Chain A
Amino acid sequence: MPDQVDKCLEVRGLGAGYGSLQVLWDFDLEIGAEESVVVLGPNGAGKSTLLKALLGLLPARTGSISFFGRRIEGLRTSQRVRAGIAYMSEVGIFPELSVEENLLMGGYGLPRARLRRRIEELCQLFPEVARTRRGPAWKLSGGQRKMVGVAKALVADPRLLVLDEPSAGLSPVYVSNVVEALARTRREAGPALLVVEQNMKFLAVAQRVYVIEGGRLRFQGTVPELEADDSLRRAYFGLQGA
């Protein structure tokens, strides 16, 4: 459990949904500064809803969200982004824009010079992004898209990077690449990291794990603790046949 002072994100009793359908119930989540957390759960468990509520893409119906001690549940998405949260959706990029423009959009609102400098830094960090930089984003392969998506999310130099199923639609070899890229960002700059996933490979970058089922918190703990839990191990490791 992270120290009070060091807390990046603190979610208490969060509920959210669409229309008459409530998807997320009374959810608690904490992330320490520079900590990396993976939220595991099956399809339809409420993972994406959790992230959308965090970002303000969906209004929170109940509960509170604190970001470095500041309450943000009432802020607009653009204000939360400016406060230092970066989000990569399942799509992750703007297909109609060029790769370069995607990176520029990642730092929307930043001063021009700083934006350029950040993009150069990231192109060094992600050579595969640098290679495709001048081309249109819709031509990228699935794996390249995720790389660009991660780079784009990092342009604004966020304090918390939030990723929605980075493995979605990727072949296993690309999943390894993305995991490796995330590990790289952890070593380099180190924003706190929140990944929601079904894919166990992402546990490689996790310091702590949450399990969400039916919109409610089922488990929280470290990776070894998860592995020690019989029923969860069967549900996640067993099925994935790791």
Chain B
Amino acid sequence: MLWLFALIAGVLFGLYYGLAALGLNLIFGVMRMVNLAHGDVIMLGGFAAVLLFDHFGVNPLITVLLVIPPSLLVGYLTYYLLGRRVQRSRDPEMMSLVMFFGVSQVIEAVAVIAFGNNEASITSAVFGTRPFSIAGQGVPGAWLVSAGVGLVALVLLFLYLYRTSLGRATRAIMSSPDEARAVGVNPDRISALTFGIGVGLAAIAGILSLFMIGGTTPSEGVDLTVTAFAVIVLGGLGSPMGTFLGGIVFGLALMFTQTYAPVWSGFAPFAILLVIMLLRPTGLLGRTVRSV
């Protein structure tokens, strides 16, 4: 049953794509900044896992935990050193494109010097080479582990956003920054924290990308940013839940075309994006076209 496998694979990849895009949407939603270096952070996460595995034999699942504190720190500093200035400029959306494009180029260049140009990966055997059976379909264990990590990260993020005071304040800023300031939210604090969370989610996605898309290379950042951007537009800018859904639509589109018309598989997810943009310009779960 080819369609059943495509369905399962599409959902599992969807979770991965959702995770890979979530940080981008979170940062956009809170700060109105498009982090064009998002894909490069994903790439760095992948290299962190490869280096820790090669040199110290660290299991990639442990690396998932290890990347969180440095990501938060990097995000925090990036916001206070760069993000805040951009945000206070006259046209933060445009300025952020320019600045993070530069950051992306720098990260890629430094990564080339540090890691070389080679594709790097961890052998899939880390998570076993025996597929698991789901609904009679043999699904690679590495996919389940990756999707599982993605799901846990998503659940934790949603608990944070919907069940904690800081998370609520984060969504309040996404909804209306001035209104949030007017109830006493300190936008700098929330923005810095959100930047850290966004970077952390990207780094985790990078670790998983070794098992979902085979490996990582310093030059893959731009492609990953484009994919992540497609997913958040598909799901709705500023809607974390939409990103999750956008990821699954993207994953399903990819896997079904790979099954039934492989040569179109690079094109189909973006075609679906176009169709959805025509029918619903705000994306699947986006409610309003923002004027801010």
Contact = CB atoms under 8 A, between A and B. Distances in A.
A94 B184 contact: no
Contact of B185 (A57, A91, A108): A108
Given A104-B168, A108-B165, A97 B183 contact: no
B80 to A, nearest CB: 16
B182 A96 contact: no
A40 B179 CA distance: 23
B186 A105 contact: no
A81 B184 contact: yes
A93 B179 contact: yes
- Which of B165, B175, B184 has the most chain A CB within a 10 Å cutoff? B184
Contacts, number: 70
B68 interface: no
Given A81-B183, A82-B184, A108-B184, A95 B288 contact: yes
B241 to A, nearest CB: 11
User: Majority SS of interface residues in chain B?
Assistant: helix
Contacts of A198: none
Contacts of B184: 77-78, 81-82, 108-109, 156
B181 A105 contact: no
A105 B172 CA distance: 8
B167 to A, nearest CB: 10
A94 B175 contact: yes
A28 interface: no
Interface of A: 55, 57, 76-78, 81-82, 86-87, 89, 91-97, 101, 104-106, 108-109, 138, 152, 156
Interface of B: 165, 168-169, 171-172, 174-176, 178-186, 238, 287-288
26 contacts: A55-B182, A57-B178, A77-B182, A78-B184, A81-B182, A81-B183, A82-B184, A89-B176, A89-B178, A89-B179, A89-B182, A93-B179, A95-B176, A96-B238, A97-B175, A101-B171, A104-B168, A105-B168, A105-B169, A105-B172, A105-B183, A108-B169, A108-B185, A138-B287, A156-B183, A156-B184
